[in-house]
């Protein structure tokens, strides 16, 4: 499955009244606009550059082009002063979040040699408050980055919004698979299926375990062997792994790939309780290997019917930070760390070492048996991201930044980590639980709260940080 590349609309502009007054000004500004366009082209995005506008009529024409382009973010480059009437149609008609940038040519003016025309090339910040006021009065969220053309700190701030656009692109066009039924009693996990398409524009495909069963029956012995060979290249096999359970997990993995391809899924949440070893129970118990391989490919696949957490994982994946299925496990008050992880599918990109396949005769809290993935998360900065749902039905991104530190971990077929949040772990758990995050979340690499805050802004949802 290939996620749609983030589509960035770009328009630069200045006040056309200046061009006949200062003939050298427009060529200089257009050169700056070409540099900005090239920088965006280098950001792994599809850039829709509609050119340079000089008056309200050209602004309206650019607005129509960008409306048709269906962008994930529109960037307005204010090269010098221009009126709000030139850009409001772009923000209003496109139905797309807008980022205003003003990047003057260099760090400062040469006051001794500059005339009025040279100064106007540095006047991109002049209309920024005007745009902010106009956007506010029009009910349009205002975002801006001010700096100079080759200022890398400014480009890092711009890059944050581009990463946010990647999240918006992933969630707007996502097809989420939901297979099986809710883990009995987990009320926080239940999600109104209308919420995701209504909030993000995505689609939820309701599946049955029979959709998987039928594809499992079509897997050949050769395909199972090939998948087992692949797993041996990726995982270290513990002595507890039974050959027949390993083969079953590999067979289910092949079928899962076909299910994902046939339904063009970008994520999958699943659960089936089962009974006495019957076929559907065995399918549910055999998911972990295949779900972990799918998650490593950028297609989050999680158990316990956790639709919202697969959305969070898709968001963390979109910014290049991985994202593994996670819950609280225990607290260590001597080391001041929160231990967290999960049984079942995991994102291999966050592993500190070669992941282990461990055989389990019992899945705690679930029926069935088989192979499970075990590893510890690599030490260093991490960010948790959950997708909360409030009483009014609104969704929110909820994040926390911490640091994974080395130390003793359980060897029970789980992904595990020791996260230091720089405070008493019990107090942190109280605040995290009060945030509305729910039972599970995505654990991603590096400190990314600023990226997720920006993504929430583009998605039009609330952001909370603990």
pLDDT tens digits along 151-163: 999 999 999 999 9
Give the tens place of pLDDT for each residue, 57-86: 999 999 999 999 999 999 999 999 999 999
Mean model confidence pLDDT for the chain: 91
Q: What integer pLDDT is reported at residue 430 of this predicted model?
A: 97
pLDDT at 364: 52
Gap between the Cα atoms of 188 and 306, Å rounded = 10
Q: Are 323 and 397 in contact (CB under 8 A)?
A: no
**Cβ atoms of residues 309 and 269 within 8 Å:** yes
Q: Is the pLDDT of residue 400 over 80?
A: yes
Q: Is the pLDDT of residue 22 over 90?
A: yes
Residue 70 in tokens: 């269906």
Residues 6+ apart with CB under 8 A from 18: 25, 26, 80, 81, 117, 120
Residue 9 Rama label (left phi>0; alpha psi -120 to 50; beta) = beta
The residues, any chain, with a CB within 8 Å of residue 360's CB and separated by 6 or more, are: 240, 369, 370, 371, 372, 412, 413
Q: What is the pTM of this model?
A: 0.92
% the chain with pLDDT above 90: 72
Tokens, residue 40: 């965006």
239-261 tens-digit pLDDT = 888 888 889 999 999 999 999 99
The arithmetic mean of pLDDT across residues 381-390, rounded, is 95
Distance CA(30)–CA(374), nearest Å, equals 55
Binning pLDDT at 50, 70 and 90, where does residue 363 land?
low
pLDDT confidence band for 397 (50 / 70 / 90): very high
């Amino acid at each position: 499955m290939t996620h749609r590349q983030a589509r960035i609309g770009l328009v630069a502009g200045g006040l056309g009244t200046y061009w006949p007054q200062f003939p050298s000004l427009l060529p200089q500004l257009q050169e700056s606009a070409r540099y900005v366009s090239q920088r965006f082209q280098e950001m792994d995005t599809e850039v829709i550059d509609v050119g340079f506008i000089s008056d309200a009529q050209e602004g309206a024409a650019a607005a129509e082009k960008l409306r048709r382009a269906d962008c994930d973010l529109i960037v307005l480059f204010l090269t010098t002063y221009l009126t709000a009437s030139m850009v409001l149609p772009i923000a209003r008609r496109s139905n797309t979040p807008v980022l205003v940038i003003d990047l003057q040519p260099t760090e400062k003016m040469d006051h001794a040699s500059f005339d009025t025309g040279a100064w106007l090339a540095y006047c991109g910040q002049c209309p920024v408050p005007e745009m902010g006021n106009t956007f506010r009065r029009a009910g349009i969220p205002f975002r801006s980055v001010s700096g100079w053309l080759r200022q890398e700190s400014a480009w890092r701030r711009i890059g944050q919004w581009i990463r946010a656009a990647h999240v918006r692109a992933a969630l707007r066009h996502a097809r989420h698979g939901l297979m099986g039924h809710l883990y009995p009693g987990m009320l926080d996990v239940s999600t109104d299926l209308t919420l995701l398409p209504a909030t993000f524009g995505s689609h939820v495909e309701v599946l049955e375990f029979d959709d998987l069963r039928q594809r499992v029956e079509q897997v050949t012995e050769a395909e199972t062997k090939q998948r087992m060979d692949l797993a041996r290249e990726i995982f270290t096999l513990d002595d507890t792994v039974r050959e027949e359970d390993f083969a079953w997990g590999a067979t289910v993995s092949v079928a899962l790939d076909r299910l994902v391809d046939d339904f063009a899924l970008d994520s999958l949440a699943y659960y089936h309780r089962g009974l006495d070893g019957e076929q559907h129970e065995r399918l549910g118990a055999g998911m972990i290997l295949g779900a972990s391989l799918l998650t490593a490919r950028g297609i989050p696949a999680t158990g316990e019917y956790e639709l919202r957490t697969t959305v969070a994982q898709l968001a963390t994946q979109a910014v290049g930070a991985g994202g593994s299925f996670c819950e609280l496990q225990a607290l260590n008050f001597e080391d001041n760390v929160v231990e967290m992880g999960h049984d079942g599918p995991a994102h291999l990109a966050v592993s500190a070492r070669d992941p282990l396949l461990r055989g389990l005769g019992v899945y705690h809290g679930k029926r069935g048996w088989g192979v499970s993935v075990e590893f510890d998360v690599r030490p260093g900065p991490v960010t948790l991201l959950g997708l909360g749902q409030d009483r009014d039905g609104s969704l929110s991104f909820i994040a926390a930044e911490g640091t994974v530190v080395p130390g003793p971990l359980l060897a029970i077929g789980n992904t595990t980590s020791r996260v230091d949040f720089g405070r008493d772990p019990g107090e942190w758990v109280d605040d995290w639980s009060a945030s509305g995050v729910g039972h599970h979340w995505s654990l991603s690499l590096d400190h990314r709260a600023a990226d997720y805050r920006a993504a929430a802004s583009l998605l039009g949802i609330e952001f909370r940080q603990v």
